[in-house]
Chains A and B, each alone.
Chain A
Amino acid sequence: MARKMKIRAWDNGKNTSIKAIIFHPMETGLRKDKATGKKIPGHYITEVKCEHNGKNILTCLWGPGISKNPFLSFNFNGAKKGDSVNITWVDNKGTTGGSSAKIS
């Protein structure tokens, strides 16, 4: 089970930019296995939480309509270099993952 993710956080001069990619199959539950003809069970991230110094800044509610290996990018205010940004996720099977980065 892929639990890896990448996260980058940097000061862009005006505020803080975040780019994150989570390696996850994001299986819709609608696809069929060509070999067996059976439906592949859905497996997708349902919720992603982004925190700055422990304070929630963004909650993403996701469904099967989000692409495989989801990418997320946003900017936020009120942070400085060296602050930590933490992103955690959970999928519909209850698997969790996450990663953190220091703002550079």
Chain B
Amino acid sequence: MDTSRRIILKATMAASTLAVAAGANLLTPSSVLAAWPEKAFKATKIDEAMNAITGAGRPTPSGDITVDAPDIAENGAVVSVKVITTLPKVESISIYVPVNAFPLSGSYILSNQMETTITGRIKMAKTADILAVVKSNGKLYSAKKAVKVTLGGCGG
């Protein structure tokens, strides 16, 4: 009787560890998930988010990046953004909205097959600049676009 009790205990312990691991996103389909930078997306300040996603370096403004977004967005929940860059050897494109609760919207890691243009839709809490950061040839460059938001899109 004692041994079976041990076995049951062991089994429950193993199961609970597994549950914790799953809860912490440790057990995820390996084919899909590599390393989602949770720290970057949970950061509430843009500096923290940048540190977590591209390191300590700060981008320098560049005329070779265009952030194409509407001047006025009626609905902040859906703001269409297009980032176009002519910079060489683009490794990643990250989009930030500094006024959002979580400033990092998304980060795109491009292979060398990619044309260096990304289109997507992001949320904006209020009127702000959209900041695009491009990592090109190991260096960081940025560009901004001011968007006036008439209705915030992050709830609350």
Which residues of A come within 8 Å of B, CB atoms? 15, 28, 30-32, 46-47, 49, 52, 55-68, 70-79, 88-90, 92, 94, 96, 98
Contacts and interface: CB of A to CB of B under 8 A. Distances in A.
Given A31-B155, A61-B108, A96 B29 contact: yes
B51 interface: no
B151 to A, nearest CB: 13
Interface residues of B, number: 45
B8 interface: no
B119 A72 contact: yes
DSSP majority for the A interface? strand
A74 B33 contact: no
- Which 7 A-B pairs have CB atoms at the shortest separation, nearest pair first? A31-B155, A63-B41, A65-B105, A73-B119, A67-B121, A75-B115, A59-B109
B97 A65 contact: yes
B150 interface: no
Contact of B113 (A49, A52, A67, A90): A52
